[in-house]
Amino acid sequence: MKTDFDQLWAALGIDPARLLDVLKYDPQAPMIFKSGIFLWLFAGFVLVYILLRKKMTARLLFVTLFSYYFYYKSSGMYFFLLAVVTVSDFLIARLMARATVQWRRKALVALSLTVNLGLLAYFKYTNFLGEVVASLTGGTFTPFDIFLPVGISFFTFQSLSYTIDVYRRQIQPLSSLLDYAFYVSFFPQLVAGPIVRARDFIPQIRRPLFVSQEMFGRGVFLIVGGLLKKAVISDYISVNFVERVFANPSLYSGLENLMGVYGYALQIYCDFSGYSDMAIGIALLLGFRFPVNFDSPYKSASVTEFWRRWHISLSSWLRDYLYISLGGNRKGRVRQYVNLIITMFLGGLWHGASWNFVLWGMLHGVALALHKAWMFLTGRPKGWRPAGIRRVLGVVVTFHFVCFCWIFFRNADFSASMAMLGQMFTAFRPEVFPQLLAGYPEVFGLMALGYLLHFLPASWEGVGCRVVTRLPLWGKALLVVAAIWLVIQVKGADVQPFIYFQF
């Protein structure tokens, strides 16, 4: 006999079993911003969020529960790690504030480092370290079947910024576990950044909910722009060209390999900055402000400038909590250069447990040290930037150095990187360029569009944002619908995960 609930489901045309499957974690399809399930859930979330706008505690609890569900849809039952980090660092910070003896404060911050970096080391580096030890001792190592929880590198670093700032007496510890759980788990930036500092975000938590016209308009602008970057430009050139070249570089000419590298440089930028834009935009719609995470990095005229524009939340985190802790530039120039190389070595290792990431980080570290040395030898003041033709040449050289490093970042093994470079230097074959354009017109059209938009003056973005802000509500809604329609037209059969999910 059918129950009232069965009759209700039947009247609505909903299969409860199918609905349950959709709401459960699917390791083959983790929930991301551009997925259909997120759009439907977010629509319902916004409705409840608005209803709770004047009930502070209930709203914070609701957002925190939704954030945990969002993480469950990304990593399954590993959401308990998020809870472990949250509770442990909350309690450690409270104990640290009460400690009157310095050695106890040091012991507590060391405990926080052990918990966070210990989790990170186990899930991310166990197999890598096992293989290194086996290769050094001549033994064998069978990798463990360890699942890497999505975004663990991001939320552990974010939580560490809180305990370290409490240790340095730069902020006061929170008295509410709910507030801290809200900060660590806030879903827009949970799985792929930006890494939001406690001192920037925590003061916003208990403010009355307010979304100005400027915040709403900029939020819509960033969400639409990020969606187009990721789902149109990045995904299309990746699936239809970049992946093919990197899968077997020896089958392609040097020119095709070079275009593949240019394509990957645009792909990873559009993928990661697109996610960051969507995260910042969603946060604005909910009344919160995140720091900018990308600032047209390929416009940089030096590798130092590049790291002030690329993944700003990570580079500033490494500077403030690692580079400065190592001594920064306070212990002489040679030590400064060594500190830069160590910082970027560990920054490369943060990206993944693989020698290709280590090499990528080391290349950038050495380049940063060489640039600092050149600035000193030529008497350039700190923050000096070239102008005119020097800047143009600097941008060209820096872009190609970054692209050279992307080869090692993208390829999982050194031999593939060398094969790609070998094709470029021994079988370039520029005569195939017309055929290449004819064979991949959409790919190169999107690449040209992506780079053109990237190198436009920053003021143009401000104009576009103001235009969207001035649109009536129905105009903004139409813009979002048009962006979703465009994504549907160009997307492949499978949803492409964000590149930085693996980090």
Buried b (16+ CB within 10 A) or exposed e, 260-298: bbbbbbbbbbbbbbbbbbbbbbbbbbbbbebeebbebbb
Contact yes or no for 32/487 (Cβ under 8 A): no
Buried b (16+ CB within 10 A) or exposed e, 369-407: bebbeebeeeeeeeeeeeeeeeeeebbeebbebbeebbb
Angle between helices 102-137 and 152-167 (to 10 degrees): 150
CB neighbours of 454 closer than 8 A, spacing ≥ 6? 266, 269, 296, 298, 299
Side-chain-side CA neighbours of 184 within 13 Å: the count stands at 31
Side-chain-side CA neighbours of 307 within 13 Å: the count stands at 22
CA distance 395 to 391: 6
The H or E element that residue 214 is part of is helix 213-227
351: annotated active-site residue: yes
CA distance 454 to 262: 13
The H or E element that residue 310 is part of is none
Encoded tokens for 247: 């899968």
Within a 10 A sphere around the Cβ of 61, how many other Cβ atoms? 15
Within a 10 A sphere around the Cβ of 432, how many other Cβ atoms? 15
CA distance 89 to 108: 10
In this structure, the chain runs to a length of 503
Among candidates 159, 130, 134, which has minimal Cα distance to 146?
A: 130
As a whole number of Å, the CA-based R_g of the chain is 24
List phi, psi (to 5°) of 196: -95, 130
- Candidate list 311, 351, 364, 371, residue with the active-site label: 351
Side-chain-side CA neighbours of 491 within 13 Å: the count stands at 19
Task: Report how far Cα 437 is from the mean position of its chain's Cα atoms.
Answer: 31
Contact yes or no for 300/395 (Cβ under 8 A): yes
Encoded tokens for 490: 């160009």
Per DSSP, the residues of 73-105 read: HHHGGGHHHHHHHHHHHHHHHHHHHH--SHHHH
Catalytic residues: 351
